[in-house]
């Protein structure tokens, strides 16, 4: 059976404030801009995008569980939960498809507590420091993996 072309793009806490929050770090694009560009790339790559953001860990876990049985992959910017959440790591570990981790900023150039991400342990790839463009790169890589599956 071919891999599903549904891709979940999940965003963690405070990313609803994109464009307003620390623009010197995260840029001027809003989350709506990011969603629109993911949808454009999705059309180009024949991927169906399910785009979500939440400030609540359990909601993100709920979407991961939903994706588990219907998606071909996940692009996730877990935001601060990257550095704290074993629960999100466990949810992603229960998925058999590729997971791409995205950070808008280069977390390795920032405070030491941002250098470790639990999610990286299960990610097929990690993109950090490419600004909001990183989402598009992650989707392109995911499409390649889905095509090759």
**Of 67 and 77, CB closest to ligand DQA:** 77
The token pair at 8 is: 């979940």
| Contacts (Cβ under 8 Å, ≥6 apart) of 134 | 102, 103, 104, 127, 128
Determine the distance from the C-alpha atom of residue 130 to the mean position of all C-alpha atoms in its chain, rounded to a whole number.
13
**Interface positions with ligand DQA (CB under 6 A):** 14, 77, 79-80, 82, 103-105, 107, 114
**Shortest distance in whole angstroms from residue 77 CB to ligand DQA:** 5
**Of 75 and 146, CB closest to ligand DQA:** 75
| Contacts (Cβ under 8 Å, ≥6 apart) of 96 | 68
Residue of 58, 81, 83, 103 marked catalytic: 103
**Shortest distance in whole angstroms from residue 56 CB to ligand DQA:** 14
Residue of 26, 81, 118, 135 marked catalytic: 26
Query: Helices in the chain by DSSP H: which ranges?
Result: 23-26, 31-45, 57-70, 86-93, 133-148
**Shortest distance in whole angstroms from residue 46 CB to ligand DQA:** 27
Cβ proximity of 50 and 130 under 8 Å: no
Is residue 26 part of the annotated active site? The answer reads: yes
The span from the CA of 97 to the CA of 65, in Å, is 12
**Shortest distance in whole angstroms from residue 30 CB to ligand DQA:** 14
Is residue 28 part of the annotated active site? The answer reads: no
Catalytic residues: 26, 103
């Amino acid at each position: 059976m071919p891999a599903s072309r549904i891709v979940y793009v999940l965003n963690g806490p405070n990313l609803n404030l994109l464009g307003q929050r620390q623009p010197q770090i995260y840029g001027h694009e809003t989350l709506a801009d990011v969603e629109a560009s993911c949808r454009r790339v999705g059309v180009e790559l024949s991927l169906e995008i399910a785009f979500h953001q939440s400030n609540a860990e359990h909601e993100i876990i709920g979407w991961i569980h939903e994706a588990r049985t219907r998606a071909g992959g996940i692009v996730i910017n877990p935001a601060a939960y990257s550095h704290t959440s074993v629960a999100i790591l466990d949810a992603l570990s229960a998925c058999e498809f590729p997971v791409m981790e995205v950070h808008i900023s280069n977390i390795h150039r920032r405070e030491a507590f941002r250098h470790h991400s639990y999610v990286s342990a299960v990610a097929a790839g990690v993109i950090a420091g490419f600004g909001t463009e990183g989402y598009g790169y992650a989707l392109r890589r995911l499409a390649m993996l889905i095509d090759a599956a």
